[in-house]
Copies of this chain bind each other. A is one copy, B any other.
Amino acid sequence: MEKAFKNLVKSNFPFLSTGKILVAVSGGVDSVVLAHLCKNAKINFSIAHCNFNLRGEESDGDEAFLLDLADALDVEVFTESFDTSAYAKDAGISIQMAARELRYNWFHQLSAALHFDYILTAHHINDDLETFLINFIRGTGLEGLTGIKTENEKVVRPLMNFSRKEIEAFALENKIQWREDSSNASSKYLRNKIRLEIIPLMEEINPQLLNAFTQTQSHLKESYDLMEDYIGLLYSEIVSKDVYGYRLKIEVLEKIPNTRAVLYQLLKTFGFTEWNDVYDLLQAQTGKMVYSGTHRLIKDRDYLILTETPSENTRKDFLIPEGEEIVMLPLGKLSFESVDKIGETGPHIAYVAKDKLVFPLILRKWQKGDQFHPFGMKGKKKISDLFKDNKLSLPEKEESWLLCSSNEIVWVVNQRADGRFAVTDSSPDILKITYSL
């Protein structure tokens, strides 16, 4: 195995020979063997060990063992102690998830602070098989069956082509000491039940289970890649991005086969759960919406519009004192300028008789019942009707600003000015207000 490892480093991971490496070592056989293999391959590495304080004296014994190991290998060692149970309770996650989060957070902190180029973990093919089965038993999709995701480009798993059996054989052959995790001996954890009960039964049926699994994984990854290529292709035909979010073109979605599956792939990272409702939006009336925890999908004529669900934060009003020159908005900005006469015009510019204004001006979002006196028109008009005339989508309505003087609307920004504040021949001061992105 030592030779195989050296060849592997040479051919697949040449950067390990030149970089500064951090090896994660729990004290179990896999990671201890990894440390020995790194030493034999003359890799420049340090050891990082987490004490999760989950098994009392045994955890402390692991830590002591690690200090001895580092001493014997003559490498630097970092240890850190965590109150894993408390962290899990606070975060409302499982102990195993908590340990995972704590471990990787600390590894990344260490490697940032001390300039490690790569973090090595001792994951091997059996870990992948166990993850496959855990995900399968819980219910999953193709993504969940294609194996452990590498956290980060910095994390390298050089033992991925070795089996637990090979690793243990190497340890015994070379009289390498390691620490048995007492939780390994019981079926206390899900992973152990799979490792100690289910996988051995599968190996009775096929002694070459790990090879078969490696093949299966590689086939599934190929299929997943092809599906991703296809979704990438469709993405460019279906999705466009604007300042409000993403627009999905319904015409294209309805033309392709397996629309439901495509919608799922396009939207899977946005937290939706009611996929039937999402699919039904295609046929729904304009204005219908489906919410996820963070996002909304809105039917708007020929499109589905995906935006973040607006937070209270984005709805706060701006107060604009006299003399203010620029107001930055979440999207774009307003500039205020005193001018002598009316020049360039357009919906993005308003000229206002300054003496008619009450400062500070108020810049706020639309509310139900808002009305104004459109410039050039007799009488009042509902803002909602103006929006309708302009065919605004819901996110566009939500992002529309009303510039107000006291409780009167001066300008529906970027759309229409109010006649009551229009400049006349007798206006002493003209304020030019410009909206730009």
Q: Which residue of the partner chain B has the closest CB to A133?
A: B202
Please judge, given known A-B contacts A229-B256, A229-B257, A233-B230, whether A137 and B223 are in contact too, CB under 8 Å.
no
Q: For residue A329, give the distance in angstroms from its CB to the closest CB of chain B.
A: 40
B261 touches A215 (CB 8 A): no
Q: Which of A133-166 contact B (CB under 8 A)?
A: 136-142, 145
Complex Cα spacing A223 to B264, Å: 10
Task: Give every chain B residue within 8 A of A294 (Cβ-Cβ).
Answer: none
Please judge, given known A-B contacts A226-B261, A230-B230, whether A137 and B206 are in contact too, CB under 8 Å.
yes
Q: Quick check: is A80 within 8 A (CB to CB) of the other chain?
A: no
Q: Quick check: is A176 within 8 A (CB to CB) of the other chain?
A: no
Contact code string A207-228 (vs B, CB < 8 Å = 1, else 0) = 0110111011001101111110
Q: Quick check: is A173 within 8 A (CB to CB) of the other chain?
A: no
Please judge, given known A-B contacts A137-B202, A142-B223, A198-B202, whether A229 and B229 are in contact too, CB under 8 Å.
no
Please judge, given known A-B contacts A202-B198, A226-B227, A230-B229, whether A212 and B261 are in contact too, CB under 8 Å.
no
Complex Cα spacing A225 to B258, Å: 7
Task: Give every chain B residue within 8 A of A205 (Cβ-Cβ).
Answer: 137, 190, 193-194
Q: Quick check: is A262 within 8 A (CB to CB) of the other chain?
A: yes
Please judge, given known A-B contacts A198-B202, A264-B222, whether A139 and B227 are in contact too, CB under 8 Å.
no
A193 touches B201 (CB 8 A): yes
Most chain B beta-carbon contacts within 10 A, residue among A136, A137, A223, A225 = A223
A141 touches B216 (CB 8 A): yes
Contact code string A56-99 (vs B, CB < 8 Å = 1, else 0) = 00000000000000000000000000000000000000000000
Q: Quick check: is A7 within 8 A (CB to CB) of the other chain?
A: no
**Count of chain A residues with Cβ under 8 Å from any Cβ of B?**
45
Q: For residue A250, give the distance in angstroms from its CB to the closest CB of chain B.
A: 18
Complex Cα spacing A258 to B222, Å: 8
Q: Which residue of the partner chain B has the closest CB to A219?
A: B141
Complex Cα spacing A213 to B135, Å: 10
A139 touches B216 (CB 8 A): yes
Q: Quick check: is A322 within 8 A (CB to CB) of the other chain?
A: no
A223 touches B227 (CB 8 A): yes
A220 touches B141 (CB 8 A): yes
A226 touches B219 (CB 8 A): no
B230 touches A137 (CB 8 A): no
Task: Give every chain B residue within 8 A of A142 (Cβ-Cβ).
Answer: 142, 219-220, 223
Complex Cα spacing A145 to B233, Å: 26
Complex Cα spacing A194 to B201, Å: 9
Q: Quick check: is A197 within 8 A (CB to CB) of the other chain?
A: yes
Q: Which of A250-266 contact B (CB under 8 A)?
A: 256-258, 260-262, 264-265
Please judge, given known A-B contacts A201-B198, A220-B142, A233-B230, whether A137 and B258 are in contact too, CB under 8 Å.
no
A230 touches B226 (CB 8 A): yes
Q: For residue A219, give the distance in angstroms from its CB to the closest CB of chain B.
A: 4
Q: For residue A266, give the distance in angstroms from its CB to the closest CB of chain B.
A: 11
**Between-chain CB contacts (< 8 Å), 5 pairs:** A142-B142, A190-B205, A194-B205, A225-B258, A226-B262
